[in-house]
């Protein structure tokens, strides 16, 4: 699973999933998910996707259930690139707990 916040066309080719992989992508916005799924499918990949906000534990549970329901079995590899800087300014002014909650705790739920 991944969080395609940057259009797939901006990724270098080594980031493409290996042929034969069954992939689930997620993003906060369903439109971003749909675009990533369409791009990866056009390249021949087996991919499904759903929206998910990693700051919401219930949404994370739904994402995992979506992956299990879609492909059966468990998750072999999880790739997450979600991050947050809740401050619109210098990094020293940001609320550290909010950043840790999303970038560390959210990954572990």
**CA 84 and chain centroid, separation:** 13
Q: Is the distance from CB of 82 to CB of 103 less than 8 angstroms?
A: yes
Parallel, antiparallel or unpaired: strands 22-27 and 46-51? parallel
The pTM of this model reads 0.67
Q: What is the pLDDT of residues 41-90, one digit of tens each?
A: 998 899 999 999 887 889 989 999 999 999 998 888 888 777 655 556 66
Q: What is the pLDDT of residues 5-35, one digit of tens each?
A: 434 444 444 567 777 889 999 998 999 999 9
Q: What is the pLDDT of residues 76-99, one digit of tens each?
A: 888 877 765 555 666 666 666 666
What pLDDT, on a 0 to 100 scale, did the predictor assign at position 2? 45
User: Hey, what are 23's tokens?
Assistant: 């992939």
Q: Is the distance from CB of 94 to CB of 87 less than 8 angstroms?
A: yes
């Amino acid at each position: 699973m991944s969080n395609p916040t940057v259009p797939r066309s901006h990724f270098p080719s080594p980031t493409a999933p290996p042929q034969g992989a069954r992939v689930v992508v997620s993003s906060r916005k369903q439109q971003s998910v749909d675009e990533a799924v369409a791009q990866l499918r056009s390249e021949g990949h087996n991919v499904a996707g759903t929206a998910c906000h990693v700051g919401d534990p219930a949404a994370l549970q739904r994402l995992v259930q979506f992956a299990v329901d879609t492909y059966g079995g468990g998750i072999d590899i999880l790739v997450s690139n979600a991050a947050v800087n809740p401050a619109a300014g210098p990094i020293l002014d940001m609320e550290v707990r909010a950043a840790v909650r999303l970038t560390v705790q959210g990954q572990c739920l």
